[in-house]
Chain A
Amino acid sequence: MKWSLMGLAALCVLPLSAAAQKSTADGIAEYRAMLQDGNPAELFEARGEGLWKQARGPKNVSLEKCDLGKGPGVVKGAFVELPRYFADTQRVQDLESRLLTCMETQQGFNAAEIAKTPFGAGEQKTLESLVAFISAESRDMTFNLPQSHSQEKLAYEVGKRLFYLRGGPYDFSCASCHGEDGKRVRLQDLPNLTKNPGAGNGFGAWPAYRVSSGELWSMQRRLNDCYRQQRFPFPGFASDATIALGVYMGVNGKGGVSTAPALKR
């Protein structure tokens, strides 16, 4: 697996220099097509399914009673309706923050400790596999985030504020890169996340297997790196800012089709 990936990664470099004027999107689409039958995200999906069913944590129970918004234990279709409001926690939650809740209340883990754990380590690895599994169960389904609860509406408006909030020494906001159609950073095409198809395609591709780092990135991790590159301070894992941005992007992407967990360069 490793060898074939490295080979394909090498192949991918060629189009950049030999035919750089060809659309980057075309090149990336070809690259994805080549790997379609073997997206390493599948390994995370399989592991995630096992972890979902496995009795774990101080209470030694599985996550099979976890309510992701469609009732206890219902996984299929949950991803395309998240983030949403949950009555038990009285907050709007995305997939990762909801999993933290279930890991704490049902399995007895300490959610705050997991939130503080670096990406890719300890129980964060568990979360990466779980989001791969849960999102894959909604693959090809249409995003339809609820906006009926007042807190969901507020989260959308706060997400919009955060999306346009310019800060840090570079004066960047999310909108600096993702507020218009047809823009690129270097050769990387940037989805316009304020409307479809950009919002559906961009939001709808995470979690994704990131070839360049050889890891499965959750949306939380993707947003964390966006904020790093914006030169902002560090957003907390599953913090309300990241969840509100998820609501903003997800609602803008309504009607888009989920391809998560996708494959990214």
Chain B
Amino acid sequence: MKKKTYRHAGLLAFSAVLAGCATGPSTQQVDEATQQVLKSSFREQGIAKLDRLVLDASNKACSEAAGANLDDKLAKSIEAANLATVKLPADGKFLGDWREGEKIAQNGRGLTWSDKPGEANGGSCYNCHQISKAELSFGSIGPSLYNYGKIRGVADPASPGSRAIVEYTWGKLWNAKAYNACSGMPRFGHAGILNEGQIRDVMALLLDPKSPVNQ
């Protein structure tokens, strides 16, 4: 009997807020029903805990926008808050090994409920981006990153002239929403998906003149 009550809890969510509703549900009714449906529908599994349904300010604003643009002021404040989270490398070393970066870009695993805790995550980069010309199986949700460094004139990533691009790229990998409030890109550093060493390696993939990305 108890199980039955639980199973129908969601139904109450739909019906409780609908009294006297003739045309369509109001925003408030949809808000309340959505919260109740979320509560009754999801459970923890493995490393995927329920706190994953708690939205921070940027996810909340971008979810509510439902694909539309945010107003400029809101977008700017979200971007500023995300930019403030970016941690530049303490030792000033931005680039690692592009070969390792390529492996991270290829690896789409990590943080699902079927992944084990403590395992190194991939970057899933090829799921959305063209990167190396040799890899033909790439997604198109994000822009092409082929020739990323070359197009931006980075001949020597250590030179002062390259500093702005190098820092921007680091920031983008650390927290993409620092530059685009509703970017579809995960916040790899901020969310702890990739560690600092992994981000260095992906940086090298994008910016090292010897990387296949820049050939």
Contact = CB atoms under 8 A, between A and B. Distances in A.
Interface of A: 16-17, 20-21, 89-92, 110-112, 115, 150-151, 153-155, 157-158, 160-162, 164-173, 175-177, 179, 182-188, 194, 228-229, 231-236, 239-242, 244
22 contacts: A90-B11, A91-B8, A150-B18, A157-B30, A158-B33, A162-B34, A166-B62, A167-B54, A169-B186, A171-B58, A171-B186, A182-B140, A228-B113, A231-B48, A231-B112, A232-B48, A234-B42, A235-B41, A235-B42, A239-B40, A240-B10, A240-B37
B138 interface: yes
Contacts of A169: 52, 111, 186, 191-193
A236 B113 contact: no
A167 B30 contact: no
The 9 closest A-B pairs by CB, nearest first: A240-B10, A241-B41, A239-B41, A234-B45, A20-B136, A91-B11, A170-B186, A166-B59, A168-B52
Nearest to B51: A233
Contact of B63 (A111, A165, A194, A241): A165
A233 B141 contact: no
A167 B41 contact: no
A92 B25 CA distance: 15
Interface of B: 3-4, 6-8, 10-11, 13-15, 17-18, 21-22, 24-25, 29-30, 33-34, 37-38, 40-45, 48-50, 52-55, 58-59, 62-67, 111-114, 126-128, 136-141, 177, 184, 186-187, 191-193
A186 B41 contact: no
A233 B137 contact: no
A233 B45 contact: yes
B66 A162 contact: no
A69 to B, nearest CB: 16
Given A91-B10, A151-B18, A240-B41, A233 B59 contact: no
A154 to B, nearest CB: 5
Contacts, number: 180
A157 B25 contact: yes
B140 A183 contact: yes
A253 to B, nearest CB: 18
Contact of B21 (A20, A150, A171): A150
A153 B40 CA distance: 19
A158 B187 CA distance: 27
Given A92-B14, A228-B114, A234-B113, A154 B30 contact: yes
Contacts of A155: 14
B18 A166 contact: no
Most buried by A among B14, B52, B54, B62: B14
B126 A186 contact: yes
A236 B48 CA distance: 14
A150 B63 contact: no
Given A153-B25, A154-B30, A240 B113 contact: no
B130 to A, nearest CB: 10
B30 A241 contact: no
A183 B53 CA distance: 26
B48 to A, nearest CB: 5
A2 to B, nearest CB: 26
Nearest to A163: B66
Given A166-B55, A169-B193, A231 B42 contact: no
Contact of A233 (B15, B17, B49, B55): B49
Nearest to A234: B45
A167 B59 contact: yes
A233 B66 contact: no
Contacts of B4: 112
A113 B73 CA distance: 50
Given A112-B3, A158-B30, A233-B113, A184 B141 contact: yes
A154 B114 contact: no
Contacts of A240: 10-11, 13-14, 37, 40-41
Given A164-B63, A169-B192, A176-B141, A233 B43 contact: yes
A184 B139 contact: yes
